[in-house]
Amino acid sequence: MRTDRSAPETAGTLRIGFRIHAGSGRDPVPERLSDGSYRLSLKSPPVDGRANEELVRFLSESFGAPRSAVTILAGASSRRKLVRIDGASRLPAWFGSGDGAGPGR
């Protein structure tokens, strides 16, 4: 899967790739991978869309966008997902880094 971690379609729109570990029992802490996507552990199990719901909620809060602005473009039933976020009002500290230290590390 091609994952341009910040391929804007319009101002405030991002496409981000994720490798999801659902049902981990851990709070979400994204880790940047060598291909530019992010590894993310979620507490919710991959049952009845609960992990996807947690992912959308986490990204909405992280990027300051409404939940309706977060779309899973590919991989709704897979560990690998491509997500679009429209109208992001901020960039979280973990975005663009490998360890949560901040962008551009």
Structure confidence at residue 8 (pLDDT): 45
Domain that holds residue 76: 14-85
Residue 101 within a domain: no
Residue 91 within a domain: no
- pLDDT, tens digit, 9 for 90 and up, residues 34-75: 999 999 999 988 888 999 999 999 999 999 999 999 999 999
| HSE-up of residue 44 (Cα within 13 Å, Cβ side) | 14
Distances in Å between the Cα of 78 and the Cα atoms of 11, 18, 48 are 28, 10, 13
Number of structural domains the chain divides into: 1
Residue 62 within a domain: yes
**Mean of pLDDT values over 74-85:** 93
- pLDDT, tens digit, 9 for 90 and up, residues 5-25: 444 455 668 999 999 988 887
CATH code for the domain in which residue 50 is found: 3.30.1200.10
Residue 57 within a domain: yes
**Residue 92: how many other CB atoms lie within 10 Å:** 18
Q: pTM of the full predicted structure?
A: 0.78
Residue 44 within a domain: yes
The SS3 assignment for 103 reads coil
- Angle at 4 (CA atoms; ends 38, 35), nearest 5 degrees: 50
